[in-house]
Amino acid sequence: MKKFYAFLALAAMAVGANAQGFVSDGTGNVYTFNALSQIEGTGVTVQDDGSYLVSADFTISEGDVLKIENNDIIKMAHNVRITIDGDADFAPADTAVVTGDGVKDSNPKGFWMMGENGNATLKNVTFEYVGITFGGANSSLTADNCTFTLYNGKLSSSGAISFNASCDNNIIENCYFIENTVNAIGNGATNPVGLIIRNCLFWHNVTSNRNKPQINLTVGGPYNVAIYDNQVIGGQFTMSGGIGLSNMMGLGHSGINIIENNYITENRYGITTIGSMDCDIINNTMIDNCYETNPNNGGSCISVYDSSSSSNIYIEGNWMEGGFWGITIVTGTPNVNVGKVEDPNAEDYNPGNNTFVNNGFDGALYDLYNNGTGTVYAQGNTWNVAEQTEEAIEEVIYHQVDDPSKGLVIFMPPHQDDDTAVEEINATQQADGLYYNLMGIPTSNPTSGIYIKGGKKILVK
């Protein structure tokens, strides 16, 4: 059926207000907030400033569309939830804002999008205080150039964007997640999803300081997850981590999970995997993810926990600095490949190329801690020792040599290419020219930290 805008004349065709609020008729109409403001019983009214106040719940039925128009400002009152069983067309040409009504202690809920066949397109919209819960077997969500900030967790505690049912082909890109009370993106423990997260900024999420990472995803089934080219910057909270993938329910899995080229800093920990999964962790930069108060409970750049011993975790090209631990294998015998260079033609070949810098606590360094019982290959890496000798590297690795009940770590040979060595200089010694920090921002006067200059990593003290 051809869709058309639902103006005042459609009021008679729509299901009127009832105990559940307004429910659209599901005949293929496109409802704007302007149109809803002209339909009695919707709870949508136009304010003096031209914004739309939503003071009651309403439902857009399957087959219909809720549309946000350019420059719309939509204010949602306390506890209001908009249910969309059809499609969400939230893609204004330039900008729009969805926010609270500004009343003290008012906590709107947001958008409940759980239609089996309903798709959501979110673009150029700022969402303040409100969340989005999404899912449906035949549905998908796309978010591009949106901001999600100050979400209060009232609709779902699983994230500013929460997936409550398994679905595939979801993409979140070029978005900003700022100071949300709970984590930024999450899903249920039994609801894996297919999802790409790329080129997004995650800044100081989980302000409630709960035991959650900023990105918190259950993986499993046939679904692929790719998280790459993001910045995950913590608020130095003692409970909130960076990126977490989990399979706590032991779901079967045939999908591929990739965490690549992310900049992760100032979280409780950097990256963690919990439960059985296949995951590639490649070319991430993790710095100062150490805001756990007890090193026995966190502070790893990368942590692997799998009591089922069926994970395949591939770790290559990561920069790990300033954690309590570099890599920890917490339990079990997962297949953790941190570098395996013996046969370049082997299926499990991994050049390593991981770099460890100043990971430790109480005067001891811990580049790799194998608390599991399986053998871990960790060849081709640059360890936090003055000379890359077997005797020196042994001092920063904990494994079978230290405790016969633990698995062995095979770490020789180390990385051999001097071109990737890190040059150390004092801030007062730098030569003229531009230095680029790990987010690509140039400066001619670097303070302490790691920079790129002339294709090399420079550690400025």
Q: pLDDT tens digits for 319-334?
A: 999 999 999 999 989 9
Residue 418 is predicted with a pLDDT of 52
pLDDT at 307: 87
The pLDDT value recorded for residue 457 is 61
Distance CA 418, CA 422 (A): 9
Strands, E assignment, 91-138: 96-100, 110-113, 120-123, 125-128, 131-134
**Taking a C-beta distance cutoff of 8 angstroms, is the pair 242, 273 a contact?**
no
| Interstrand relation of 335-339 and 312-316 (parallel, antiparallel or unpaired) | parallel
Residues of the chain with pLDDT below 70 are 1-20, 417-442, 448-459, 461
- pLDDT confidence of residue 452: 66
Whole-number Å distance between alpha carbons of 60 and 37:
14
Amino acid, res. 388: Q
pLDDT at 18: 35
For CA atoms 422, 271, 159, 172, the dihedral sign is positive
At 15, give phi and psi (nearest 5°).
Answer: -75, 125
* pLDDT at residue number 424: 57
**What is the C-alpha separation between 6 and 15, in angstroms, rounded?**
13
Closest C-alpha to 266, from 357, 186, 203: 203
d(Cα 372, Cα 400) in Å, to the nearest integer?
A: 10
Provide the total of helices (H) and of strands (E) in the chain, helices listed first.
2, 49
> Given this model, what pLDDT does residue 410 score?
97
18 vs 22: CA distance, rounded Å:
6
176 forms beta bridges with: 147, 201
Q: Decide if 240 contacts 214 (C-beta within 8 A).
A: yes
User: Would you state the pLDDT for residue 443?
Assistant: 72
Tokens encoding 111: 């958008």
pLDDT for 416 equals 84
Asked whether 368 and 377 are in contact (CB, 8 A), the reply is no
Report domain extents, the chain: 1-155, 423-460
pLDDT recorded at residue 417: 65
pLDDT at 17: 33
